[in-house]
Every structure is written in structure tokens, then in C-alpha cells.
Structure 1
Amino acid sequence: METEKTVSVLNDLLQITNDRIAGFEKVEGKVWEKYPEIKDEYDRMISQSKMMKNELINLITEKNGTPHDSPSVAGSLHRTWIDIKNSFTIGTIEESTLSNVVFGEKAAMEAYQNALNSGDLCPKSFDLVTEQLNSLKLSYNQFRKIEEYKNN
């Protein structure tokens, strides 16, 4: 297993995690007036993302790599697209925002699964990415429940 490949995959996941954090921060204030009962769960997901970010940075550094600690260009473009889409939304921005969070969580899960399938992770990295993917799945399922809740 080449350390460079492992660091590259971990850096990709770090950027995705930064995209998640940036996306979550965009939701702040848009949803809570209408859905105050989900704020605690949302805050937990932000904390989880920040913890995942630190774990990835630590593992990259441990492998003598340089963490690419910024959101991805694709993530930035996606958030800009969401802003444009929300400006033309017929429904409420809150509902559209929650749908976008579900979409983003699904994309993050797919990226994590692709990282696991790549064969480019050392055993320790594989274990961490598996653990983080499981957390993403819980987050995704929670947001799907929130999205279903908002439709009631």
C-alpha cells in the first residue's frame, strides 16, 4: 500500500468533510424558526463533522502528509447552485434546504464508500473511514426522517 495514495484518498475525504461543514453552516438560521425541534440533532451533526475533520487531519499528518484543509471547488459550486436554486424556489427555502442537505449527505456517503472500495487505504485508515461512513449513514437517515417530518 502506497502511503501517497492513502494520503490522497484521505485528503479527498477531508475536503468532502469540509464541504459538509460549509453546507451545514449555510443552513444556520434558515430552518430553525420553522423547525426548532430539530436544532439539537443538527448541532450534533455539525460537531460530528468537525470531529471527523480532526480525525482525518490527524491521520494524514501521522502519515507525513499535508492536509488539504479547505472545501472542494465542486462543493463550493454546489453551494452556489443551491443559493441560486433557492432564489427561484416555489416552496419554502427551509424545505428546499433540508432536501439539499439530504442530497449532500448521500453524496458524502458515496464518496466514503468509493474510498473504501478503492483499495488505497491502509488498515488503520480503512477502519477510520468505515467508522466515519457509519456516522454519515446515521446522519443521512436522521435528515431523511427530518425531511419526511417536514412533509407532514
Structure 2
Amino acid sequence: METTTEKSIEVLNDLIEINNDRIDGFDRAAKELDASDSDLKGIFEQFASDSRRNVQELSAAVGQAGGEVETGNSATGTIHRAWLDVKATFSGHDRKSILEECERGEDAIKKAYRDALSPDNGLSLQHSQIVAQQQQLINQGHDTIKALRDSQV
């Protein structure tokens, strides 16, 4: 039977993986943009940087809990597929399509954070605080992408 600590480590590692997916997605997006989309490049780079910081904080929490830190991306599941879809759409697509795919990826990470904070996961108060703080930034990122997408004609 899984202990509360083991469950917390698993939840934190899942968040590390999706943040790694997000980093890869936004890094790729920033590289694939046309010069006319330079405004998006800065936003995408900032979101990738935010997720790098999230990974550092989550990794420290996993280490303090005595767990082994995940270093890769998610191997399966809807979260990984959502960011793979984002990564696959950049070539030859218009700005609105890129933003729509980015929003799909943001929807996935937003859900992962919401699920992580479920009482069933039994995160400690310290871990819950870390996740809740990161969730605020994730939600802001989602809202930014959604607003940019909605502003496209």
C-alpha cells in the first residue's frame, strides 16, 4: 500500500514531468515563430522560464521528502499528448492556430495542478503551498494565452 509520502512524491513528480513538457512546448513554439510574432516569443520564453523555476521548486520538495526526482517528460497520458499536439502544429500554421494549440497545452497543465491539489492526494501543507503558488502562475499563463487567442480575428 502506498504511503502518504510516496503519494505526495508521485504527485510532485507528475507536476515536474508536465512542467518539462511545457518547457519543451514553449521553447519549440518560440523557435518556430515568424518575425512578425515577436511579441509571442517573449511570452513563450517567459512561460518556459516559469516552468523551469517550477521544476526546481518541485525537485527540491521531492528531494526533501526523500524521493527520487523525475528528470524527463511524461511518457504517456493526455498531458503529454496535448503538448505533443502543440509541438506538432507550429510549422506552417497561423498565429491563431498556434495559440489554440498552446491553450490546449495550458488546459492540460492547469488540470494537472487542480488535480494535484485534490484532498485525495494528501499533500503536506508545505507541498500544497508550493503547488498552490505555482498554480496561480499557471492559471495566469493560461488566461494570457486564451486572451491572445480570443483577440485573433
TM-score higher than 0.5? yes
Mean CA deviation greater in 118-127 or 39-48: 39-48
Of 127, 130, 142, the match for 2:129: 127
Long gaps (5+) in structure 1: none
Alignment root-mean-square deviation, CA: 2.2
Q: Distance in 1 between matches of 2:26 and 2:107?
A: 14
Higher relative contact order (CA 8 A, sep 6+): 1
Change in 2 beyond 3 A, CA 1:86/1:45 = closer
Q: Distance in 2 between matches of 1:147 and 1:99?
A: 6
Q: Which residue of 1 aligns with 2:64?
A: 62
SS in 2 for 1:68: coil
How far off is 1:13 after superposition? 0.8
Number of residue pairs aligned between Structure 1 and Structure 2: 148
SS in 1 for 2:35: coil
Matches within 5 A, 1:1-152: 2-74=4-76, 76-82=80-86, 92-117=93-118, 118-149=120-151, 151-152=152-153
Q: Percent identity?
A: 24
Maintained 8 Å contact 1:21/1:50: yes
Q: Distance in 1 between matches of 2:44 and 2:17?
A: 20
How far off is 1:37 after superposition? 2.2
